[in-house]
Structures are given as structure tokens and as C-alpha cells.
Amino acid sequence: MLYFSKLRIILVSLICLFFIFVASNNLFNQDNRFFDKKINLGLDLQGGSYLLLEIDNKPVIQQKLQNISSSIRSYFKEKGIRIGNLNLLDNKITFNVEEKFKQSIIDEFQDENSNINPYYPRFNSHQFEIIDSGSVLELSFSKQGLVELKTSSQDQALEIVRRRIDEIGTNEPNILKRGNDRVLVELPGLDDPARIKTLLGKTANLTFRFVSKNNQDSFGSEKLQYEDGLNEDYVSKRIILSGDNLLDAQPRMNNQTNETVVSFTLDRVGAKRFGKATSSNIGRQLAIVLDGKIISAPVVRDTIASGSGQISGGFTFQSATDLALLLRSGALPAPLYIIEERTVGPDLGQDSINAGMIALAIGFLLVIIYMFFKYKTFGLITNITLITNLIILLGVLTLFEATLTLPGIAGIILTVGMAVDANVLIFERIKEELKNEKNNIIAFDSGYTKSRTAILDANITTLLAAVILFFMGSGPIKGFSITLGVGIFTTLFSVYFIARLFTAIYVLRNKDKEALI
């Protein structure tokens, strides 16, 4: 047990040196360094902003039901089944149907292979439920269908929020799901989140539609206000283009008018549709509508077939930059509302760092003093091992670019205590063995062997608790569980490789001495 081959000694030394090098990277400026990973400080240490966003899924549910209602009308018309009074009310589609067709319609919706809506092939029995209420059939989302819709909406919102924040260049944002209709955004180092809140609060649903004078349009029209809130116009409900057809959007300066504009580029399908629409509507106003408000409504002077254009609207360069960012990142599937907001100042963050480091230093120092007083030379070995263990732990966290929070520091402090506990178990077991065994090598070897079960039991049960905390907890609890879990592995490595190596060297050199411990 105390024997170490040269290969194992070299391997342990290389591992220690590697993690010492990685951990030391946090102490230096990382510009022009070969290895640029570091531990990131969490919101409670660095300071910054905390935003909890809630997704309003009502418009999504309404839109999906509107889509399926149109498909229902077309589908059953092709089959020769007459339905009447098709309405959408209270998140339910209701329609009348003759008694002889009622069962066939119910069967159609309950058929897994039904093709009622080719654009939504998964709209089947597990997503919708249909109820026979006398002469009326009621179709609505099932509970499972609502869960799937909310999950899909949350996934899309999470990705678009991430894109918008990444475009701004915020340092190490933390964007997480909360439940099935909330998104948590943590922005370390950002103490003024006004611009972020403005960007996240916009759905960025862009459409191009023609202005309809006097509310006359074959597709129907609606009255929309201009962004300035002073004017309004009737706009066709027919969407010529949407934000889905945009490839890129950038702020630009119009050299002819010295006006800041947003220049956009369309994909091939969008360019073709835009060219066709503008060629047949020369002289009409084309309304550019963002989130239900008209940004501008320029007159079409000529066919626009290039697939690119400009959006003007009295922008400042900052507002044009933000609009371009929103258009590039895509529209949110549903509106987001800020339901909780907190700002942690950098002074409070620094106070947290100082308090955590002082607690770690005091605890570490007391442990070192106690171990040296209690076990003398072997206490010194334990102290060297503790320091190495701490450095390896920091190296592992650095390697994975972990985010360190105040609970994470608590996990590191707990790791120090567990590492000492393992060494105490070993040394006390060695003392018991020395009472019956005069050979120091055999006694130390037996001490390490017989204490292993107790040490593994203690660490495995703690590891299980850390795993449960990681999967069941959130935010700071996860930070604590990560440092605790990593600390368990580094502790076992330190105890059974580093401390045992130093112990073996000392015992083998002093094997004939009495009262080694």
C-alpha cells in the first residue's frame, strides 16, 4: 500500500503541476496567454443584474388555434362535410355540424395519422381534445398539448434571449429556465440593465404590409398607430413579408438624407416575394410594422428586386443599432414580462468576496494549526496536502470555466473540512495498528487499508447528496453542489495519492524509529 512506482510518482507530480498551472491563470492578466480559461464570478460576487422574465403564452395559444381553425374549414370542405358557426372563444374552437357527420369528425381528431393540418402534423389526439356538447363540437388544447406548447415557447424564448444578450456583448451571462413559462437572466458586472430590459421587453415581430386607405382591402384591414403615437392608418391584414425572411440587419447612415436607417437583406424567398409585391403596387404605401406599431410607411417608387432595403423612422444611431439587433436575433414566440428585478452593486459583491475569503482563510489556518499540533510531521504532510487539494480544486473549476458564487465558496470550505476528516481517520487508525504491530511499514499500510471503507462511505454519501442538490436545486444551490462534488474527488485524490506518497517517503526513511505518530 505504501509502495509507489516511479511511473506513478511522475504521474501524480504531473497532475499536480498541471492543475497548479491552470489555477494560477486566475492570478494573471490573460491577454496573450497560451491558456486563457478562468473561474467566473457569479452575480453575488461580481455584482450585476438579476431579471426573472415570464412568458405570456396567451397570444401563442390564440395564434395556434387560429391556424388550426382555418385548416379545419378547408379540410372538411374538401371532404364534403359542412360545418357552420366556426368561432374561436375562450381558447376553444366551436362549430356546428350535422349529426350524421359528428362521429366521423370526432374520429378524425382522435386519429393519430390524421392530416387535418399539413403544417402542424403533430396536432393529433394527445395535443387536442374534442368535446361533443349537443349540436356543437368544442376543440381545445389538451393538458399535454398545453405543456408541449409552453415548453416549445420557452425553448424558443430562451434561445432568442440568449442571442440578444450575446449580441450586446455582456460578460458571462447566465440564462436558465424556471418552470415551464419563466426565464432567469443573470448579468454579472452589469449594474444598469435599462437597455437590456428594453431589448428583452420587445417581441420584435416584424411584418411588411400595405396601407389600406378608407379601410378597404379584400384581405381585411386593421387600424394601427405609428410609433410616435400621434398618427394612425388602416393596414392590410395580408402579410407581404415577415421577420423570418430577414438574413441580416445593420444600422447605416443614409448619405443622401444624413438620416440613420436600418439596412436589411432578405433571403431568396423573401426577395422574390418582395419584388413581386412592389412591382404590382407602385405608388402605394408599404407599412413596416414592428410589434403592432407602424415604424414607417414609405411609398413604393419602383420594383425592389435586389432583396435589400432600408427602414427609416427618425432613428438615433443607438435605437437603429438596437432595432437591427432585435431583427437579427429573431422574434420572440410570445411577449416577455419582467416580474422580478434585482441589482447587486459591485461594492456588495466585493464585500461578499472579502467575507468568503476571510472565512476560508480563518478556517484553513485553524485547521493547519490544529493538524500540526496534533500530528507533528504528519500534520505538516496533511497541511501540504490540503493546500495542494485546494489548488487542484480551483484548477478543475478553472478548466471548466465554472461560475463561483458565495455558496460555492461554502462548498470549498466544506471540502477542506472533509479532507482533514479523511486524514484524521487514517492517522487515528494507524495509531490503533501501532498498538499491536511493531513494524511501522505494516502498521501504516494497514492504517490506510482499513480506514478506506469508512472514508469512501462518508464521501460517497456526501457525493450522492451533492448530485441530488445539483439536479433538484437551482441557482446558488447548484453552485454549492458543484464545488462540493468536485471537492470530494480532489480530496480522495489528495488523500490517497499525494498525502500517501509523502507519508510513504517519510515512513520508509524512518522505518526503524519508534513513535512515528
Instruction: Sketch the domain layout of the chain as residue ranges.
Output: 6-47+345-509, 58-146, 206-342
Using CA atoms in the order 83, 84, 88, 91, what is the torsion angle rounded to 10 degrees? -50
Kindly give the pairing relationship between strand 206-210 and strand 241-242. antiparallel
Residue type at position 60: V
| H helix intervals, 437-499 | 440-472, 476-493
Q: Mean pLDDT of residues grouped by 10 in the chain (517 residues)?
A: 79 92 79 68 77 87 76 74 78 78 70 50 56 75 83 86 78 79 83 76 83 73 83 86 84 83 86 88 87 85 81 81 82 84 70 77 86 88 91 90 82 86 89 84 87 91 91 78 92 91 87 72
pLDDT tens-digit readout, 82-111:
777 878 777 888 887 777 777 777 776 666
Residue 86's Cβ-count burial label (10 Å; 0-12, 13-18, 19+) is: middle
Residue type at position 111: D
pLDDT tens-digit readout, 403-432:
788 788 888 888 888 888 898 899 889 888
Which CATH number applies to 206-342? 3.30.1360.200
pLDDT at position 18: 92
pLDDT at position 125: 47
C-alpha cell of residue 263: 439596412
Owner of C-alpha cell 395559444: 61
C-alpha cell of residue 100: 350524421
pLDDT at position 122: 41
Taking the chain, what is the end-to-end CA distance rounded to the nearest angstrom?
A: 18
Residue type at position 391: I
Q: What is the largest CA-CA distance in the chain?
A: 108
Can you say whether residue 8 is alpha, beta or left, with left for phi > 0 and alpha for psi between -120 and 50 degrees? alpha
Query: Is 58-146 in CATH node 1.10.3470?
Result: no
What pTM value is reported for the model? 0.61
Task: Domain 6-47+345-509: give its CATH architecture.
Answer: Up-down Bundle (1.20)
Q: What is the DSSP string of 9-57?
A: HHHHHHHHHHHHHHHHGGGS--TT-S----PEE-HHHH-EEEEEEEE--
Kindly give the pairing relationship between strand 182-188 and strand 259-266. unpaired
pLDDT at position 11: 92
